[in-house]
Structure 1
């Protein structure tokens, strides 16, 4: 009985070694799985690092783009501010010249007042005091204003050139900066060789460069059919120019009131009422080549005397109307006024050429011209950068109307830089599994661009960034993208399918 059981437990000759074979098979499968898992892990890690590198490079390009637009915006705002400063200097020159004439006793009205007016001191005292105060101020301004206007015009021209230079420098810097960022982020990675010289980058570079334009306000071929210009609109906006520039009308202190018995001896009625009215303004020439100012002061009144005679009342009445002070100034062409109307709807120099109380004096000044220019070249509005088209919601892809063209970066690293089993296992390169990559390179795409968003300026969220729906300003208007406000920021964007297809096609070459 025991022998029989023992015999059953013994293996047959054909079955010996089968367990070892199965173990070897499982061991081989496990080794292959481990091989694949190790390689997959290494490749996934390398791909993630390369994608992060591409993201960093693309974001750096977007930052450069945003800085370019913000620099242009700051430069535009600085040019506007300096244009207003030029206009103020031109206004001061015209105004101080008018004051000098008004407070100088050299007109026939001055003689008439001395002869007839019983209130002569009301006329002569303000003139004497005013002349004493105005003379040194005018002398100082005559010395200061020409070099001031020259300096401001030169600063404006320098800002204009700086815009163009910065933009060109930004375009040139993108390849260098993105490649440096890629190397700093991962030493064995670079931007794909020849990428910035190839047609793929050329297409997006064309979109980028066409997104903005440089406009010369003085070139009629670059303006609209109506002569409208965006920079000129901003510069002459009612909130940009102060009241002194637009209309500086005001009364002047010399006054002759109320009687004239001193000159009309024995008269029963002797009246002399004469007051001085001033008006003036400054506007941008319609050709945008400079600013022009005109100021005029005019005496307006009546002198009337009546005597009682046996034959009845006898007398006279004459109007006391005369120009007493005039001034004009300009930068740009100078010599003659370019017209009664300036850019932006301003006309007749604050209304002085229409106001009957200043019309005579203003017309005399207009006929004689603004005088020698404070500065000729460069003068007026200079070239400036702006968006080629003013984007608005609904004119482009959803939520992209506030975004500049994307800049796509392709980062790469050699497949031999990835540590796989073929490099760490003896004879691992003799395995038949092919882990090589297209062109011997691992590549990753990333895109970024600048976008425009205005921080809210009211409420508890002041200074915070909000979506386009919350872009309403304090005046309930929506701020659209422009190069007049520095609200450009950078972010990564979705890489387009066209870029991906182009990248795949490039790998096959």
Structure 2
């Protein structure tokens, strides 16, 4: 019965924590999916910016070659092809950006739904596992209710919903740092544009080079307490020329930029540039500052023209959505854990013992002596159990376990801090602290701790008595060997006796240290019992009621009512009134029984 009860309690705790681990890993997968979807929107904006730039470049080249005796048909064909490609790219972007954005909204809502469901589902899963293993078992003890309540409180304090400005900007930073090379920087030099060409063509007093620059950013703006989001892409292509000029102050290089191609597209408005910018003054591209953040380093004039001629994509985009992550994001919280402790009880009336075997056992030992045979009452016993039943406490924890923990050599001086962007949450069973066992005793019955302490005291007393007898025997043996050594002159025999003396002395030293550990064990038991009783006395229903009230403001009364029915209502007012008085009596009786041993 005991082994089955232990396995059931372990299975229930493990199953409840596995559900929570899967919920946290789901949060991580959805966070990653939302980041990936944001990057894909950035890629679509980048593509439309690039195709617009390609069309404008082909159009400008077509205008330039009118003054040169070259074949214009191929250039005109390139212009028409790039214009068609640009139209197709815009249609694709305007079709898929709203779809991807709506998927992100669905993921955000699903993420919160799974988190809320896990809050209420864990107690039900734990109880279902216990009932499926054996219908006789129950988890309605006070400690089981408190263990589930503490887990629920820890679950709520572990995760937070980030929908404020700082939280959304943090996720936007993750998105910008997750961009692919094409979205992040589309920069090419002369040698990359023209194979086997130098980066700079040096003609003595003149230097020439080509430069292609472009990038796409996710930008934000806070207005009237709400966040606005915009994906903006820019692409530019310029011919750069530097001429050596001689002035009164001496020779100097004068730089000139000839914009050849440009393109810029954005989705969800353009609030990145300063308001009131005069876009009708096309000559303003000559100035170095047009009020817009720089996306390029060298092609500044081409970028100014791109700012003046940028186009908006006709697509709905709502930006960064709310998401879940750990409440404590500090480096000091690099290894967060969530514990679940459960007490599974089997009432004495349901425990299968020899007295309940049909035809062999009975409720009491028969009065007449059974001399032979297997008659009724042969194995009759008077069953007595502390607390009127058997109970087992199982403990486990949810923790973050990244892959580098399996092979520490891979870390290379780095350590991944826990977050809900990495799906590496696992579970394991742990030992139940002794003070928690004493706490469960106190919650079960005010007299149970005293009775249990008496049993522990007897065990410690027997343990110390056995060690003292063994120590006395070894000391006598040591004295006998020493006397033999003093009376022996044979060299070989003396060597044997000296070896035996060393071995006996080592055993004596070990037992003396063990006796000291027994006294330390007694002191430790005093502290752990006092701590367990103190924790039991401090348990207040108000703690869980406050948690439910706070959670109700976020999630509504339906989940709260369900949790109250399953957890809070089982901790009665009578328990609160009796705990403090019972704790005081139990501590006093327990300490007295242990002091007698010393």
Normalised-by-shorter TM-score class = 0.5 to 0.7
- Is 1:244 the counterpart of 2:199? The answer is no
- Distance in structure 2 (CA, Å) of the matches to 1:324 and 1:235: 31
Aligned partners of 1:334 and 1:373 also within 8 Å: no
Partner of 1:325: 261
Counterparts of residues 168-247 of structure 1 (less than 5 Å): 168-192=116-140, 198-216=145-163, 219-220=164-165, 222=167, 229=170, 231-237=171-177, 240-247=178-185
Equivalent position of 1:104 in the other structure = 59
Asked whether the equivalents of residues 292 and 370 of structure 1 are also in contact (C-alpha less than 8 Å), the reply is: no
- Report the CA distance between 1:222 and its aligned residue: 4.4
Structure 1 residues 349, 86: closer, same or farther in 2, change over 3 A?
Answer: farther
1:435 aligns with 2:384: yes
Relative contact order (alpha carbons < 8 A, sep ≥ 6): 1 or 2 greater?
A: 1
Structure 2: distance between partners of 1:145 and 1:495: 57
Return the alpha-carbon distance in structure 2 between the equivalents of residues 69 and 370 of structure 1. 41
What is the total number of aligned residue pairs between the two structures?
Answer: 385
1:153 aligns with 2:86: no
Distance in 1, Cα, partners of 2:416 & 2:158 = 18
> Residue 165 of structure 2 aligns to a residue in which SS?
coil
Unmatched segments (≥5 aa) in structure 2: 195-206, 222-227, 243-254, 276-290, 367-379, 446-574, 576-598
State the distance in 2 between where 1:200 and 1:110 align. Answer: 77
Bigger CA drift: 494-503 or 172-181?
494-503
Would you say the 8 A contact 1:58–1:447 is kept in 2?
Answer: yes
Task: Provide, for residues 45-92 of structure 1, a one-character-per-residue CA deviation record: whole Å limited to 9, x for no partner.
Answer: x23321221111011112112111211121122222211111101111
Is the CA contact 1:66–1:490 (under 8 Å) kept in the aligned structure 2?
yes
2:351 to 418, 431, 436: 418
Cα distance change on mapping 1:365 and 1:135 into 2, 3 Å: closer
Matched with 1:384 is 323
Tell me which of 135, 155, 162 is aligned to 2:83.
135
Under a length normalisation based on structure 1, what TM-score does the superposition of the two structures give?
0.66
Verify the 8 A CA contact 1:410 1:446 in the aligned structure 2.
yes
CA distance in 1 between partners of 2:85 and 2:120 (Å) = 51
Structure 1: 4+ residue segments shifted above 6 A = 251-254, 273-276, 347-350, 429-432
Is the CA contact 2:94–2:313 (under 8 Å) kept in the aligned structure 1?
no
Higher helix share: 2
Q: Write the distance in 2 (CA, Å) between the matches of 1:131 and 1:451.
A: 59
Task: Give yes or no for contact 1:282–1:349 (8 Å, CA) kept in 2.
Answer: no
- From 219, 233, 240, the equivalent of 1:285 is 219
Cα distance in 1 between the residues matched to 2:15 and 2:112: 21
2:351–2:389 Cα contact (<8 Å) kept: no
Partner residue, 2:441: 504
Q: Is the 8 A contact 1:391 1:481 kept in 2?
A: no
- Which structure: larger Rg? 1
Q: Aligned residue for 1:81? A: 36
* Shift of residue 126, structure 1, vs aligned partner: 6.2
The alpha-carbon distance between structure 1 residues 348 and 441, as it changes in their structure 2 partners (threshold 3 A), is farther
2:470 corresponding residue in structure 1:
none
Query: How far apart are 1:406 and its partner, in Å?
Result: 0.5
Query: What is the Cα deviation at residue 301 of structure 1?
Result: 6.5
Please state if 1:297 is matched with 2:237: yes
Q: 1:339 to 1:247 in 2, by over 3 A?
A: farther
Tell me: CA distance 1:390–1:497, structure 2 relative to 1, closer, same or farther (3 Å).
farther
Tell me the distance in 2 between the aligned counterparts of 1:493 and 1:450. 10
User: CA–CA distance in 2 between the matches of 1:110 and 1:426?
Assistant: 108
Deviation at 1:325, TM superposition (A): 3.5
CA–CA distance in structure 2, aligned partners of residues 391 and 320 of structure 1: 49
* Structure 2 counterparts to residues 288-367 of structure 1, below 5 A: 289-298=229-238, 323-331=259-267, 333-337=268-272, 351-352=295-296, 354-355=297-298, 358-367=299-308
Give, in angstroms, the shift of residue 277 of structure 1.
4.5
Query: Aligned partners of 1:432, 1:250: CA distance in 2, in Å?
Result: 91
Partners of 1:274 and 1:113 in 2: how far apart?
20
Gaps of 5+ in 1: 1-45, 255-272, 303-318, 341-346, 457-464
Instruction: Measure how far apart 1:285 and its partner are.
Output: 0.7
CA deviation vs aligned residue, 1:308-335 (integer Å, no higher than 9, x gap): xxxxxxxxxxx9966543322223x313
Cα distance in structure 1, aligned partners of 2:155 and 2:257: 63
Shift, 1:447, TM fit = 1.4
